[in-house]
Structure 1
Amino acid sequence: MDKALPLLDAQDITFSVGDRQLLRPVSLQVTQGDYVLLTGPSGSGKSTFLKILASLITPTSGQILFRNRDITTLKAGSYRQQVSYCFQTPQLFGQSVYDNLALPWQIRRQKPQRETLVAALESVNLSPNMLDKPVEQLSGGEKQRVGLLRNLQFMPDVLLLDEVTSALDDENRLAVLALINRIVAEEKVAVVRISHDVSDIQQAGHVLRLEPPEKESERESA
């Protein structure tokens, strides 16, 4: 991944709470159309690192550049539209699925075409009548897909995905993975995705494995 102009350049990122280190130094560069799989055992800080990249939490040390600019100098709202984070368990808003998919349009003072939203639902095996379904009636897997589609109403430059297929069966998981592959190939969106599934490695162009901080001290004492 040594390309000239990275979209996102994370340099020696760490995170600690008090004296407890939760994330060992991690560096990552992503350019347009990159597909990075973030993996590692529980406690290695994968979700923490992704949230730091999304500017949802502040690293203890290190620097993140977006298009060569320190993200601390950028407006948070604008940055998060370009570097979009999708939670494993998304927080849905409003009353219905429509309210959630329409939200990115409303933020931009636009109104979506119903057919556009229906097509998005169908791309991840959700039926057109799902558009009017109350959010409290959605299953965990349906919430994950709606949350992902909400992030994709306007394509970001970088998409950060925190185990967004964890609640899906095989058929629907494959539909979501096909959508991710398509936006990487056709839209040139850079994707950084957390997954524990070994079969996902072949989908990614690059694999970054994190290790728990304790393992560093274990090696030093060995």
Structure 2
Amino acid sequence: MAQPILSLENVGFEANGRKILNGITFEAEEGEIITFTGPSGGGKSTLLKLIGYLLTPTSGVIRYQNKPITEFNPTDYRKEVSYFFQNAVLFDETVRDNLAFPAEIREEPFDEERARRGLQTVQLPENYLDKPVHELSGGEKQRVALIRNLMYPPKVLLMDEVTSSLDKENRDIIRSFIQRLNREERITVLWVTHNQEEIDASHRIIQLKAGEMEGIK
């Protein structure tokens, strides 16, 4: 039987004396799409940050490919388990600067053709490669940031309400792209969303309330 790509065992997190998560236990298989739902303040975003190694649990253990994530170099881990922030942050001057960055930190050549294909996939013209980032709309920035995260496809993609501030057209473009990656490259997706179409695209739904799991559908 194949090992889960991710597993959490009795994971908890406290900050400033307040218990934010308690006893979170579940497994994620390769190629799954899992949605975290629940009321605001239930710990969903904190849970994603723990899985993304942006925070460290105060109890329990998170394993990636059957190994505690604390045994990984954080930079190496984040190349395989990629956290996509809610609000896109682009830097430098052009789209090219942003899409070349993942290659730069790996000290590898920039694959311009892959970048152009990525832009096409999220319905942006190829000539956007040299477009100044300050000329992009909010939805365009979010799409460019997503391509930047996926220039080197991770094994696991963590997404925290990344489409919540977008219009329907941009939401649909991003959702379709994520579903395609999941289907064709078996990328595991864990996302926080209140969008019904994104929820419907999930294989499982984990409900969180007051920092605890209420159930799995």
Shared fold (TM-score, shorter chain, > 0.5): yes
Confirm or deny that 1:191 pairs with 2:189: yes
- Within a 5 Å distance, the mapping from 1:145-160 to structure 2 comes to 145-160=143-158
Structure 1 residue 164: Cα displacement: 1.5
Equivalents in 1 of 2:75, 2:153: separation in Å? Answer: 15
Q: Could you tell me which residue of structure 2 aligns to residue 92 of structure 1?
A: 90
- Within a 5 Å distance, the mapping from 1:32-47 to structure 2 comes to 32-47=30-45
Equivalents in 2 of 1:110, 1:127: separation in Å? Answer: 25
What is the alpha-carbon root mean square deviation over aligned residues? 1.9
Unaligned 5+ segments in structure 2 are none
User: Could you tell me which amino acid in structure 2 is paired with residue 195 of structure 1?
Assistant: T
- Within a 5 Å distance, the mapping from 1:155-174 to structure 2 comes to 155-174=153-172
Structure 1 residue 143: Cα displacement: 2.0
Q: Could you tell me which residue of structure 1 aligns to residue 9 of structure 2?
A: 11
CA distance 1:201–1:152, shift in 2 (3 Å)? same
Which of 130, 133, 144 aligns to 2:131? It is 133
Which of 23, 26, 29 aligns to 1:25? It is 23
Structure 1 residue 215: Cα displacement: 11
Contact 2:23 2:212 in 1 (8 A): no
Contact 2:24 2:212 in 1 (8 A): no
User: Could you tell me which amino acid in structure 1 is paired with residue 148 of structure 2?
Assistant: R
Structure 1 residue 65: Cα displacement: 0.7
Contact 2:161 2:192 in 1 (8 A): yes
Contact 2:69 2:77 in 1 (8 A): yes
Identical columns (%): 43
Q: Could you tell me which residue of structure 1 aligns to residue 104 of structure 2?
A: 106
Structure 1 residue 114: Cα displacement: 2.7
Contact 2:39 2:208 in 1 (8 A): yes
Corresponding pairs, count: 214
Equivalents in 2 of 1:148, 1:214: separation in Å? Answer: 30
User: Could you tell me which amino acid in structure 2 is paired with residue 200 of structure 1?
Assistant: E
Confirm or deny that 1:54 pairs with 2:62: no
CA distance 1:166–1:215, shift in 2 (3 Å)? closer
* Greater Cα shift, 64-73 or 125-134: 125-134
Structure 1 residue 158: Cα displacement: 0.6
Structure 1 residue 109: Cα displacement: 2.2
CA distance 1:132–1:151, shift in 2 (3 Å)? same
CA distance 1:148–1:71, shift in 2 (3 Å)? same
